[in-house]
Structure 1
């Protein structure tokens, strides 16, 4: 499912979603949630019927333009959905039936804008399926045959485990390498640097490398054809993953990791990637029982 609002960022997201739907051989649903205003801003009277009708026609034009973009990808089955309700609750509700929801990470602002940053953030924190944020200023949208790898951030948390599954799945369908990135120190390496100079980090690295291999072992058995490259780094996860986003076609992470506070809906690493990654970012969402 892809959210549509007529912005260039949303159309880039539609193109990415169409390509992914074709690879997975599943239908693509293009959804536009209108959120018609009940009243004029600052007024106590409803807008005239002509205004509402013109608005409705414009919104259908958004869907028509998105369908034309999606149709450029051959073999994809396309459905258009027009929702009159506000975008955030509509998209969260429809995400219950989706394999993933794809959004532009920026869009219009003001009355006619739907997929602005706050909407994307609302979906990556509340959707019922994985959410892919396609950066509005990304220089290149991955196409079929793209040789760049899929990258997954692994930290040992339950959501990280879900991210691994999604990442293996995407790497398999795209027939590319999977890069599994694990950073074994969340602290800033500049802090306590004098003390660290006298500490032997190698045993810690060996332990983390073994743990990373254990995390991947079961998934490698399920996906024997996916080539996996393990990357271990003494760095903050956001730094390493942002660096990899320059060389990847997709980065996959959990919505929050082992360092988050209980109840935190979106971790700092996920936020950094949604705002700054140079490729699309998939955010793995918890199961309903895990959301509480």
Structure 2
């Protein structure tokens, strides 16, 4: 691996045990948007930002047999991608507060990011890369990371909105009452606290996709489900009294309910599996759908993943 120089005032490699926020970039526009979002997140947490790029080219047959000139060109392209990404990060978070380092590797990017996720607070990627089919296929890197990373994963869609109006929007979290949603709830409270915004906790009672008929006794059911939602949030509300929580109990599918609130949110946080989820490698249907459809960044917190919720700094 190679560590590449960025402006000296922004480099910090002293803390190798905690990589802080790790973001992958491949030179695509969406990956640069992910870098911008990750820079803001690192500033909010007061932690390092590590930008990682790979100059391996698995699409080209015989890539490992490329000549010295070809390898030199690939390395130079990778270095340029990192330089551009570093400039974007420093432009997004001006000043000397961002502890930034870059890393150029000749390994598969998914394997490298999963390895670094063991020492990261959060991984960040764009929802599609250079080789993804637009509008149809979620980038393979983001899909694999959401399934296998050892820390939470944020997937950025479209433009990383960092303007004052956008950053005042609420954080949304999906709550289903299962143990799988507890890490997501804790993470969402931390994100809302750092951003000083409201938290919208969405609990959708109807799991039957496409079943839109009215239900008899819904008001009674709603009250019961509201108690369940309140119970799931109670401990976190006590720990984060500064966070204003808006509870939503919806007679709808979880995906539609969360997407509705995601339209006016800056971030959606979900667990990787719901009540009917498996504890293995599969990504739950709700989190998968949100990764495809949500316009704002989606943060997936696996139950088995390390969820270090850092207390806000300087607030």
After superposition, give the CA deviation of every residue in 1:144-190 in whole Å (9 maximum; x if it has no partner): 67210000000122221000011000000000000000011211463
Matches within 5 A, 1:147-186: 147-186=168-207
Superposition CA RMSD, Å: 2.2
Give 1:44 shift.
Answer: 9.8
**1:224 corresponds to 2:241:** yes
Write the distance in 1 (CA, Å) between the matches of 2:207 and 2:281: 17
Question: Does residue 59 of the first structure (1) align with residue 81 of the second (2)?
Answer: no
Q: In structure 2, what is the Cα distance between the partners aligned to 1:144 and 1:83?
A: 35
Q: Which residue of 84, 92, 98 corresponds with 2:114? A: 92
**8 Å Cα contact 1:183/1:235 also seen in 2:** yes
How far the C-alpha of 1:36 sits from its partner, in A, is 4.6
Q: Does 1:131 align with 2:153?
A: yes
Q: Deviations over 1:89-112 (max 9, x none)?
A: 1110011111000000012018xx
Q: Give deviations 1:34-74, integer Å, cap 9, x for gaps.
A: 3355x952x69811110011001100111000000001112
Aligned counterpart, 2:126: 104
Q: Please state how far the C-alpha of 1:261 moved relative to its aligned partner.
A: 4.1
Q: Is the 8 A contact 1:256 1:264 kept in 2?
A: no
Does the 8 Å CA contact 2:277/2:284 hold for their aligned counterparts? yes
Alpha-carbon distance change, 40 to 267 in structure 1, aligned in 2, over 3 angstroms: closer
Is 1:36–1:85's contact at 8 Å kept on the other side of the alignment? no
Segments of structure 2 that go 5 or more residues without pairing to the other structure are: 1-21, 133-137, 307-315
Listed as ranges, the gaps of 5+ residues in structure 1 are: 111-115
> 1:118 Cα deviation (Å)?
0.9
Q: Deviations over 1:77-99 (max 9, x none)?
A: 10101121111111100111110
| Secondary structure at the counterpart of residue 221 of structure 2 | helix
Contact 2:192 2:243 survives alignment (8 Å): yes
Q: Which residue of 2 aligns with 1:204?
A: 221
What CA distance in whole angstroms lies between the structure 1 residues aligned with 2:87 and 2:226? 47
Alignment of 1:1-292 (within 5 A): 1-36=22-57, 41=61, 46-72=65-91, 73-74=93-94, 75-109=97-131, 117-135=139-157, 137-138=158-159, 141-143=161-163, 146-188=167-209, 190=211, 193=213, 199-261=216-278, 263=280, 265-287=282-304
User: Is the 1:142–1:249 Cα contact (8 Å) retained in structure 2?
Assistant: no
> Deviation at 1:262?
5.1
**1:113 equivalent in structure 2:** none
Q: Answer whether contact 1:30 1:80 (CA < 8 A) is retained.
A: yes
**Does the 8 Å contact 1:246/1:279 carry over to 2?**
yes
